[in-house]
Amino acid sequence: MLGFTGRDIIKAVEAGTADAAATPGAAAKPGSGVRRQLSELASKIADEAVGTAYSPVVLAGIIRLIEFTVVMFLGAVIYLGWVYPTHGIQWASSVGLLGLTMLTLLAFQAAGLYDVHVFRTHVAQFGRLLVAWTLVFLVATAIAFFTKAGVELSRVWLGAWYLVGLGVLTVFRIGLAQIVRSWSRAGRLQRRAVIVGGGEAAEELIQSIQAQTDSDVTVCGTFDDRTDARSPAHAANVPKLGTVDDLVEFARRTRVDLVIVTIPMTAEARVLHMLRKLWILPVDIRLAAHTAKLRFRPRAYSYIGNVPVLDVFDKPIQDWDVVLKWIFDKIVGTCALIALSPIFLATAIAVKLDSKGPVFFRQKRYGFNNELIEVFKFRSMYTDQSDATAARLVTKGDPRVTRVGRFIRKTSIDELPQLFNVVFKGDLSLVGPRPHAVHAKAADQLYDDVVDGYFARHKVKPGITGWAQVNGWRGETDTQDKIQRRVEHDLYYIENWSVLFDLYILAKTPLSLASHRENAF
């Protein structure tokens, strides 16, 4: 039996317990600076244009909101046109309007009208809509009859609301079906999955997924370190694209939403070895449990097709959390840009007067899922001595730093232009793990050589400030311990993210800057 959480895997990575399963001389660890070469077929699939995924959870929520607004609006307009001219606003009618609208949403939910696969249909969707909508108004009519309600629940008002509402909702659902079908064809509502493992277990899983007519999972390929008969070139007509190390590179070059491991549960050391490589990816990771009996913990399992899977890792921020964080970044970031504009202007003038060169400095850094992004900073070094790759650490009294640069680095004012990345480019967040330069080092070693699983900090979008920074882990990384502690704090943030946590970090940032200035040069 195998039973562990994501934290167990992280501890296994840190302690090196998974290394026992590794073969000496195996491929370089995922995320190293050298780009891994994929097979011709894997490269072809990775280079195909893939649209941005739309969250089914968010889509269903938006449809609920739209239909709530439509039903409420129609009821109010018909009331104002029929009842209001002669009887004015009735308190009981207002309660009835809101109550029937809420009852409509509950009825639609019970009828399965907010399941994404239903959005694509015509007959099933409209049949459910007719039944649910009719039941709501039968209940309303019954309430009006037994309570002897008069104008408060006028049968003429209810009848007109029913007929007009049915027509408008039907037209809306026809349009919705066309849009959702178009998105489905473009893959925007599909979960792109890859399978780790091969042979009979992988074939059974793929067949189960393909047998579902309403499945939202598309299997791109399989990946397996084995090269013998247990891992054939195809499983249920799905091609093998490479090894697990190839999978990490594949997931960086194209959209992968779900990784399903079909390795037998009894091979715990091998499973840990696979997860040691995969947990750095911003994807959902599942262990297929159809070939072994497994004692699940509460909420630790789900189903893909008819196959039970153990939920090992979830994408850290998804569905409505993505929307909330995006809105938070845009609103707070815009307000910060406006409020700090005098500091921007003063700093730009000071940088320009202090030394020759541009006001801003642009640097390549690692972003979400190891994507290279370009971040903005106020220039703090002499132009001819700037280090775009951060191959050489900035130290105390570094002669490359200008007079103004020393001050703006000490106070972190040099980081303020990254608000442009947040508000306009969208490749940074206000709060998150700080983006590091490509060749940043600790004690003359690249960060990913020092910290096993270092790239797991890229499972979320990087930020201007973060949990590590407000706890004093900012500035020079002249020892391995400093970058290790920084990554520990970054991973804690990723696992415990919430909007309130972001607000707490933002509130704590000014105090941290004032109390930990000795760490910045």
The identity of residue 104, as a single letter, is T
Query: Domain boundary residue among 260, 280, 313?
Result: 313
Name the nearest CA neighbour of 10 among 370, 286, 279. 279
Verify that 492 and 360 share a domain, yes or no: yes
| Cα 435 → chain centroid | 17
Note the pLDDT tens digit of each residue in 105-120: 999 999 999 998 899 8
Between 420 and 412, residue with greater pLDDT: 420
Verify that 415 and 349 share a domain, yes or no: yes
Verify that 224 and 149 share a domain, yes or no: no
Task: Give the separation between CA 21 and CA 294, rounded to whole angstroms.
Answer: 22
Residue 456 lies in a domain: yes
* pLDDT for res 27: 42
Note the pLDDT tens digit of each residue in 130-160: 999 999 999 988 887 777 666 556 778 888 9
Question: If DSSP codes are grouped into helix, strand and coil, which group holds residue 360?
Answer: strand
Question: If DSSP codes are grouped into helix, strand and coil, which group holds residue 439?
Answer: coil
Provide the whole-model pTM.
0.83
* pLDDT for res 8: 57
The identity of residue 329, as a single letter, is D
Residue 208 lies in a domain: yes
Verify that 460 and 351 share a domain, yes or no: yes
Ranking 87-96, 352-361, 375-384, 463-472 by mean pLDDT, the lowest is 87-96
Verify that 500 and 476 share a domain, yes or no: yes
- What percent of the chain shows pLDDT beyond 90? 49
Q: Is-contact 369 281, C-beta < 8 A?
A: yes
* pLDDT for res 117: 86
Query: Domain boundary residue among 258, 286, 313?
Result: 313
| Cα 385 → chain centroid | 38
Question: If DSSP codes are grouped into helix, strand and coil, which group holds residue 428?
Answer: coil
Residue 468 lies in a domain: yes
Query: Domain boundary residue among 283, 313, 343?
Result: 313
Any idea what the CATH number is for the domain that residue 298 is in? Answer: 3.40.50.720
Residue 452 lies in a domain: yes
pLDDT at 10 over 60: no
246-266 average pLDDT score: 90
Residue 308 is classified by DSSP as E
Question: Dihedral through CA 449, CA 451, CA 454, CA 456, nearest 10?
Answer: 140
Residue 1 lies in a domain: no
Note the pLDDT tens digit of each residue in 188-230: 998 999 999 888 888 888 988 888 877 789 999 999 988 777 7
Verify that 454 and 391 share a domain, yes or no: yes
* pLDDT for res 105: 96
Q: Which residues pair with 445 in a beta bridge?
A: 442
Between 517 and 208, residue with greater pLDDT: 208
The identity of residue 85, as a single letter, is P
449-473 average pLDDT score: 91
pLDDT at 30 over 50: no
Task: Give the separation between CA 226 and CA 228, rounded to whole angstroms.
Answer: 6
Verify that 356 and 250 share a domain, yes or no: no
The residue ranges of DSSP E strands in 101-237, in sequence order, are 191-196, 217-223, 234-235
Residue 53 is classified by DSSP as P
Tokens standing for residue 405: 């640069």
Number of H helices, E strands in the chain: 19, 14
Residue 206 lies in a domain: yes
pLDDT at 280 over 60: yes
* pLDDT for res 494: 94
* Residue-wise DSSP of 213-264: TT--EEEEEEE-S--STTS-SEETTEEEEE-HHHHHHHHHHS---EEEE-S-
Verify that 379 and 451 share a domain, yes or no: yes
Residue 211 lies in a domain: yes
Verify that 129 and 198 share a domain, yes or no: no
Task: Give the separation between CA 471 and CA 124, rounded to whole angstroms.
Answer: 55
* pLDDT for res 512: 82
Question: If DSSP codes are grouped into helix, strand and coil, which group holds residue 49?
Answer: coil
* Contacts of 244 by beta carbon, 8 Å cutoff, 6+ apart: 196, 223, 224, 225, 274, 277, 278
Q: What angle do CA 98, 103, 105 make, to 5 degrees?
A: 100
* pLDDT for res 199: 82
Q: Which residues pair with 239 in a beta bridge?
A: 234
487-514 average pLDDT score: 92
Between 95 and 306, residue with greater pLDDT: 95
Residue 260 lies in a domain: yes
Verify that 181 and 202 share a domain, yes or no: no
| Domain range enclosing 108 | 56-185
Q: Is-contact 302 311, C-beta < 8 A?
A: yes
* pLDDT for res 267: 74
Verify that 239 and 206 share a domain, yes or no: yes
Provide the pLDDT confidence category of residue 72 given band limits of 50, 70 and 90.
Answer: very high
C-alpha separations of 299 from 1, 4, 447, 495 in Å:
17, 13, 35, 17
Verify that 462 and 343 share a domain, yes or no: yes
Tokens standing for residue 248: 């990490």
Q: How many domains does the chain have?
A: 3
